[in-house]
Amino acid sequence: MHGLRGVSHYRTVWISDTHLGTRGCKADYLLDFLKHSTCERLYLVGDIIDGWRLKRSWYWNATQTEVLQEVLRKSRAGCSVIYVPGNHDEVLRDYLGLALGDVVVQDEVIHETADGRRFLVLHGDRFDGVVRYAKWLALLGDWAYNFLLWLNDKFNIVRRRVGLPYWSLSAFIKHKVKNAVEFISCFERAVAQEARNRKADGVICGHIHHPEIREIDGILYCNDGDWVESCTALAEDWDGQLQIIHWASAAEVASKEAPPAGSSAERPARGAPAPV
């Protein structure tokens, strides 16, 4: 996966729910995405470092360190990096308005796209109380959810061995559970209503690990997904159009299509779904 040529250039990129500090974090895919994309502005939309998990049991690997180093490299190179904390890294909410190195911490932000639309950017965890989600969803992040992620990893090891691309079993199971589907729908409507109350054209959030772009009563709702299940980011092009980047499948396709070592053929850039 690493070392493939082809860099995508975006105006803005949003990532969230990477959960660095957990075994479920797909840090290798995330690092690959960061190395093969550039942007003027990078939003870290919460739950980047999983402080909850690190408090209970320490886990960290070299690839996760490289992810943080790559973000800092981008900021030093002129990319504006804004960190919007979530519930798992809520300790950073004590430092709102401050710059941690070249990274600015904000509770929420209004982002204006190249075509003049205004988007409210927030993590979204405070809307859990609004939608009164099912009790089992409060267990996300503890042993039940981590077991599901462990099962997902084993499942994808088998898929790779038989030549199949990455596919999130855990996300599939969640989206087939009635309570989860109802929660996602209620969450999306609640966040869209907040954007409407702020006179914004749309909202960009994370939190529920469900990448989506759809219009809700005139508000464009965008969720950038996560890097423990779907391996997705949200990107804005130079015309202000938004798209979800599905990196795991795109990276594996690019790897299979790459010319043999020593070939002068240009390898394609990855991840280009239809813009919205």
Mean pLDDT by 10 residues, the chain (276 residues): 68 97 94 97 97 89 97 96 94 90 94 98 82 45 61 74 73 57 78 96 95 96 95 97 88 49 38 42
Structural domain includes residue 2: no
Structural domain includes residue 44: yes
Tally of structural domains, the chain: 1
pLDDT at residue 127, as a whole number:
86
Output the domain CATH number for residue 39. Answer: 3.60.21.10
Structural domain includes residue 248: yes
Instruction: Return the sign of the alpha-carbon dihedral for residues 101, 245, 149, 215.
Output: positive
| Nearest residue to 241 via CA among 197, 273, 209 | 273
Print the domain residue range for 117: 8-257
Structural domain includes residue 274: no
pLDDT at residue 63, as a whole number:
98
**Token code pair at residue 239:** 């015309």
pLDDT at residue 161, as a whole number:
82
Structural domain includes residue 130: yes
Instruction: Give whole-number Cα distances, 168 to 89, 104, 172, in Å.
Output: 24, 32, 6
pLDDT at residue 177, as a whole number:
54
pLDDT at residue 100, as a whole number:
80
Residue with tokens 């690092």: 31
pLDDT at residue 249, as a whole number:
65
Structural domain includes residue 176: yes
Structural domain includes residue 98: yes
pTM summary value: 0.76
Structural domain includes residue 269: no
